[in-house]
Amino acid sequence: MRLTRLVAVAAAATLATTLGGIGIAVAGDGRDKSGTQLGVDEIGYSRTVQHLSNTPPVGSFAGSTGSDIAFQDHYAFAGNYNGFVIYDISNPKRPRTVAQVSCPGSQNDVTVNGNLLYLSTDSSRSDDSCSSTTASATEKSSWEGIKIFDIKNKSAPRYLKAVETKCGSHTHSLLPGKGKNKGNDYLYVSSYSPNATFPDCQPPHDIISIVEVPTKNPAASRVVATPNLFPDGGNPGGTGPTGAGYSATTGCHDITVYPKKDLAAGACMGDGIIMDVKDPKAPTVIERVSDTENFAFWHSATFNNDATKVVFTDELGGGGAATCNTTVGPTRGANAIYDLSKRNKLTFKSYYKIPRNQFDTENCVAHNGSLVPVKGRDVMVQSWYQGGTSVWDFTDSENPKEIGYFERGPISKTTLVGGGTWSSYYYNGFVYSNDLVKGFDVLKLKDTSLKPAESVHLDQLNPQSQPVYRTR
């Protein structure tokens, strides 16, 4: 494989404005305003959330799509369809751009561990370099998969290795090896939508790809297994009782691993699954559920802290549709909360969707989030694209409720224009959000009942590799 040496370019200027909960381009104070009360680009927020800063994209990243985020020490690693950005977040009111690495290829889902950064490529490219161009998936020579970088020097990441995976890598989840596998990272690569005309993405595609990375010798990284998670072919897809379509299972969209429990929760298009990952190279499906009435596309999953619950998300409309309105209603394009028994059986309890209708010109649906670590409670922050960031409590599985929010008004009131926040994650006292268009936002939770979460400190967070929070 031909690898290209990268030059990480520090941004010429970092615009990080301390906003005190008001924000940029706001017509008046948006406190307690939301949804269809907001004007174009107006910021709305609850009394329990403060907007500290926004760092807009610059250079080639301006106009490109922001995606997922990972964290290590006082750095945030923000994905973008054109590469990734490393921010110094030691002062959350003024994040500083340390490096901006150009490496085009959607979605550029990102994780970090030690001195290594992993990047997903889920668009067919002319080769595995960071100067590649778009290419047809019908060409055998085209490439997509995992890219590996050395980030020991945060201001100058180095591209080390590429690993091609079947159907590319839409997302990946990092499972650090332990015991006899210690010293290896395992990447569970999710991809889907095979096509008979694609040489490297043939149907049926009921697998995930597992990439083994020897952390002391990343050049030896390779695919070590492609386990078939759905020997029966998975959910065949179709039309449910409400007339709504639901996806057939042809792979997984996202997997969240819980290393301490040797468990993983998979959101696999038409199915939600629980896996035993004690042997990282041979995960076993031990529970499987579907929802043909309300779920269109099983997108992602989050455990609560003691792994007695799982929140699955439904990305109805693929993230590009207006689903936060009265037409779609509260149970579609939503979260589904399941209790998880000691025998790893899932029991559906309720749906949660933001209680704020959005304009029909705003793409809005359940998307990526993480826990706020508060002892005795199950609290989560979560992105909803142009529905903004929601802070919500699911301690009572049957009666979830929103306790805070931050959002921007529509990009347009006349035409549906895609935007909004892709990921919202809680990390060491603050919420960090990566917007598809507006850049990198930092929020502070002002709800006094969430104050204990600020005492929980992590050295690293990959949200789809859930830690055990030592709550107080």
pTM over 0.75: yes
pLDDT at 7: 32
pLDDT digits (tens, 9 = 90+) for 372-398: 999 999 999 999 999 999 999 999 999
The predicted model gives 396-405 an average pLDDT of: 98
pLDDT at 289 over 90: yes
pLDDT at 294 over 80: yes
pLDDT at 181 over 70: yes
pLDDT at 242: 76
Torsion-angle region of 204 (φ positive above 0: left; ψ -120 to 50: alpha; else: beta):
beta
76 neighbors 69 (Cβ within 8 angstroms): yes
pLDDT at 4 over 50: no
pLDDT at 29: 76
Contacts of 295 (CB under 8 A, 6+ apart): 246, 312, 314, 332, 336
Contacts of 85 (CB under 8 A, 6+ apart): 11, 57, 61, 77, 78, 97, 99, 100, 101, 440
pLDDT at 164: 98
pLDDT at 19: 36
pLDDT at 11 over 80: no
pLDDT at 10 over 80: no
The predicted model gives 410-425 an average pLDDT of: 97
Work out the pLDDT band at 241, boundaries 50, 70, 90.
confident
pLDDT digits (tens, 9 = 90+) for 324-379: 999 999 999 999 999 999 999 999 999 999 999 999 999 999 999 999 999 999 99
Residue 140 to residue 85: CA distance in whole angstroms: 31
Mean pLDDT of the chain: 94
Work out the pLDDT band at 6, boundaries 50, 70, 90.
very low
**Cα-based distances in Å from 368 to 183, 334, 362, 425, 471:** 29, 12, 17, 8, 22
pLDDT at 244: 83
Strand partners, 313: 300, 335
Domains located in the chain, CATH noted = 35-461 (2.130.10.10)
Work out the pLDDT band at 13, boundaries 50, 70, 90.
very low
Work out the pLDDT band at 24, boundaries 50, 70, 90.
very low
Work out the pLDDT band at 73, boundaries 50, 70, 90.
very high
pLDDT at 472 over 90: no
Return the residue matching tokens 């992590």: 458
Residue 303 to residue 308: CA distance in whole angstroms: 7
Within 175-306, where are the H helices?
none
The predicted model gives 6-17 an average pLDDT of: 34
pLDDT at 42 over 60: yes
